[in-house]
Chains A and B, each alone.
Chain A
């Protein structure tokens, strides 16, 4: 089956630093990747849609300068949380859509900003 690898699975960083999260489709080309955020006890919230070779489309209320998304190839998208603050602590999940159909999720990244 299709596999999406998200790395790291957890990270702790100091306030003010930046953190990069990678999302890779290991055995298929992902035409579109999505980044979600999950607050404790809440459902997933779509942050942005990432298409290879073009700028990401951000959802309303999501700061694009804070959450930098790069989709450099059909198998890799990265989310960089810049100048992280404790309120950015959350569970971030990516998903990748396969060109032939289906959406596949990464394992998630738990970010803790201290």
Chain B
């Protein structure tokens, strides 16, 4: 069974950093891209970024709103993707989901809440 589980969400002050993890099982992790999608409270979905699969060199892409502040990485041996969030702003407050794939996201995690507030 394919599973993705996010962790690491927390209350953090503006300007600080936080690292989220997406722990996976049930599939060959290195064969798949992992995306991060977020949802601010009461708002719609926003694509944050992706890391390509290892055959595609694990390169990354980001939304304009987070480029230069967020970094996505992957550990194929552990089946974990990470989202390093630096310079956090109040507008980064959201539930963060990881999702598998390049286009259509059939598999998602349950989400982890990040709250940026002083």
Partners in one complex: no
